[in-house]
Each structure stands twice: as C-alpha cells, then as structure tokens.
Amino acid sequence: VTVVALVPAAGRGERLGAGRPKALVPVRGEPLLTHAVRGLLASGRVDHVVVAAPPAEVDQVADLLRPLGPAVHVVAGGGERTDSVRLALDAALTFAPAADVVLVHDAARAFTPPEVVRAVVDAVVGGAPAVVPVLPVADTVKQVDADGRVVGTPDRSALRAVQTPQGFAVDLLRRAHAAAEGAATDDAGLVERLGEPVATVPGHPWAMKVTTPFDLAVAEAVLAGEEG
C-alpha cells in the first residue's frame, strides 16, 4: 500500500493575527507545519507528503522542510482550502503515481498523535473508502437562522466534531474534487455529496485545530507537558 498525505498550509492565518501564514507560526521553536509533517512521518504509514504552501512562501517552506527528507514535497497552494487540496492532489499523483491511499491533513492540526494517523490509514486499507477522525461534542449545539434566532437543537449524542487527517481511496477523492462545486470546509463533505459512505475512527484532543491565539496557548501548554 502506498500512502500519500496532502497538507494544505496556504492559509493566511488572519484569525490568529500573527502577521504571517498560520503554518509558519512557531510553537516551542518550530513552525506548526514542521510539527504537522513530522507527526505524519512518525506514524510510519506515510510514504510521501505534499505540502501546499502560500504561493509567495514556497521556497521558504521547502527550505524549512528539507531536513525532514526527500519524501516531503512542497507546491504552491490556492485561494481556498479546497483549491490547495486539489493542487496538492494533482502534484501527489506525479510524485507518487501508484498511491492508493490519500490523507488530507491540516497544517493547523499540528499535534495530531501518530496513533490517529495510523487508525485512519488502517481503516482505509481495511476497506472503508473514506474515513474521518471524530470526537464527541462537549457543547450543546444550536442551529440558528440568518438573524441569529435559534431554529433547532440537534440531539448532541448524534453529533461529532471532525478532525484530520481524513483518509480516502485515491480514486474517490479525485472523483469528489472533480465533482466539487464551490468550496467545502472538509474533504469528506465532498465525498458525502457523491452519496458515498464516510466512516469514523476515534480522534484525539491533541488533534485540535490551532485557529486563535487561545488555541496557540493551549498547544504550547500541551507540548510543554509532553516534553516535560
């Protein structure tokens, strides 16, 4: 089995307000992106990593990741996350034409434990064509209308928060992106639009997405605990 991981890392990181692309914001001395790529490789299941970098930062990102070895490739990302994934997928099929499993992993989920990566790969290899790591939802979630008025309260026990890496049979992800109209917030959503089943495996709190300065402080604390 050949596994290729795509890492969309081309976002501007405006909600983080660090004045640079989020993937390049350091945590404990290393950029989020470096942590994310190292975590994928540490799973022992990933053969190639293709990073979609901010177009103006491709050379800088390639220099940054060169120490992680020749399995890591860097290409220019696009205007929306979906565009960055599609560009990375096209590139992956030239670097790894024999790939049968593809993971899509946000650079912002930089501290995802390698066990989660393995669980996703193993589920795809085991026959599930699309797999997402999930956690139960702690908060009650309301659906609201355009004016912010509550229109419903979905049964919390049936809700899950979705993380990455999301795993796919390569052909299914290609079909999902070819059929995609407009942007999606996750790749499994595109697969669902095709009417194909999406399976779940347990996620992990450390696979949280770093979006705000608060998240960055949490990530620093998690890593401080891990390193003792």
Determine contact, residues 38/67, Cβ cutoff 8 Å: no
Which among 5-13, 136-144, 174-182, 214-222 is the span making contact with ligand C5P, rule CB under 6 A? 5-13
| Torsion from C-alpha of 145, 151, 154, 155, nearest 10 degrees | 160
DSSP label at 156?
Answer: G
Q: Indicate the residue among 39 and 77 with the shorter CB distance to ligand C5P.
A: 77
Determine contact, residues 211/143, Cβ cutoff 8 Å: no
Q: What is d(CA 22, CA 16) in angstroms, rounded to the nearest whole number?
A: 7
Q: Does 86 bind ligand C5P (CB under 6 A)?
A: no
Q: How far is the CB of 178 from ligand C5P (least distance, A)?
A: 19
Q: Indicate the residue among 61 and 198 with the shorter CB distance to ligand C5P.
A: 61
Q: How far is the CB of 30 from ligand C5P (least distance, A)?
A: 16
Q: How far is the CB of 78 from ligand C5P (least distance, A)?
A: 6
Q: How far is the CB of 40 from ligand C5P (least distance, A)?
A: 13
Which among 56-64, 79-87, 115-123, 200-208 is the span making contact with ligand C5P, rule CB under 6 A? 79-87
Sole binder of ligand C5P in the list 211, 218, 220, 222 (CB under 6 A) = 211
Alpha helices in the chain (DSSP H): 32-42, 58-65, 81-95, 114-125, 170-179, 187-193, 213-227
Residues 6+ apart with CB under 8 A from 60: 24, 53
Extract the tokens encoding 113. 């434990």
Q: Which residues are near ligand C5P by CB under 6 A? A: 8-11, 22-23, 52, 77-81, 84, 106-108, 209, 211
